Amino acid sequence: MEFSLKTKIIEPENNIVKNAVILLHGYGGDGEDISILTLNWKRFLPNTIFLSPNGHEKCDLNPNGYQWFDLSNDNPDYILEESLKSEKVLNNFISEVKQKYNLNNSQICIAGFSQGCMMSINIGLTADQKFGCIVGFSGKIIDKDNLSRRIISKPQILLIHGALDTIVPCNFLLDSKDFLIRQKVDVVTKLINNCEHNIPVEASSYALEFIKKNLNN
């Protein structure tokens, strides 16, 4: 079975797939760059397959990269509309993963960086079956009013942010945490000191422990 999105796949060495981690890159990135997280994670998640799809659109600002939604127009209504289109694409991709590996949502972690984090939160909260967990690095809530009306599922969520982030400032971490608590979603947050808009080893390690706790390997 070929996936609808071009995907970097890291299979478990023992060929036993009990869980999946789907990694969503940031704006202008691709599946290859975010898959670097698996270099450490795969040793501690032996029965897990890692899938890092490319966004369905080429990025206007970086022709070598991809995007989950367009940012050339900063109108909030436009961004919401584009992100909802991306949700459909990603939900279709996740369905393909579940079918191919005979998994259900409880065996899947959705993790994303920046724009990928934004999509991970939306996918996680609007799913009809609760995911194993959601991990978000350096992101925010795209549209709180819209999302609050569509929440169906309340998975365990971890949000990590760099204190020195100037691309998506760290105040969005507290903003997202406040929103999720008000929606009665279990959320853990971690602010990384001296960290800009990236995923340092400390953040990767913290995320790994969270995933290990919430996926049964």
Reduced to 3 states (helix: H, G, I; strand: E, B; else coil), residue 137 is strand
Q: Structural domain boundaries of the chain?
A: 7-214
pLDDT computed for residue 21 by the predictor: 98
Q: Which of 94, 86, 145, 95 is nearest to 116 (CA)?
A: 86
Q: What is the pLDDT of residue 121?
A: 98
Kindly give the confidence (pLDDT) of every residue in the chain, 217 residues in length, as a single tens digit, with 9 standing for 90 and above.
789 999 999 999 898 999 999 999 999 999 999 999 999 999 999 999 999 999 999 998 888 999 999 988 889 999 999 999 999 999 999 999 999 999 999 999 999 999 999 999 999 999 999 999 999 999 999 999 999 999 999 999 999 999 999 999 999 999 999 999 999 999 999 999 999 999 999 999 999 999 999 997 6
* CA-to-CA separations, 33 to 2, 69, 172, in angstroms, rounded: 21, 18, 24
Residue with tokens 């998975």: 155
Kind and range of the H or E run holding 112: strand 108-113
Q: What is the pLDDT of residue 74?
A: 87
Predicted local confidence at residue 72, as pLDDT:
85
What pLDDT, on a 0 to 100 scale, did the predictor assign at position 148? 97
State the pLDDT at residue 73.
86
pLDDT of residue 158: 98
What pLDDT sits at residue 170? Answer: 97
pLDDT at 90: 98
pLDDT value of residue 61: 85
CB-based contacts of 33, cutoff 8 Å, min separation 6: 25
- Whether the Cβ atoms of residue 67 and residue 55 lie closer than 8 Å to each other: yes
Which amino acid, 60?
A: D
Residue 146's pLDDT is: 97
Residue 29 burial (CB < 10 Å; 0-12/13-18/19+)?
Answer: buried
C-alpha span between 23 and 201 (Å, rounded): 16
The CATH superfamily assigned to 7-214 is Alpha/Beta hydrolase fold, catalytic domain (3.40.50.1820)
Interacting residues of 185 by C-beta distance below 8 A, sequence separation 6+: 125, 151, 154, 155, 157
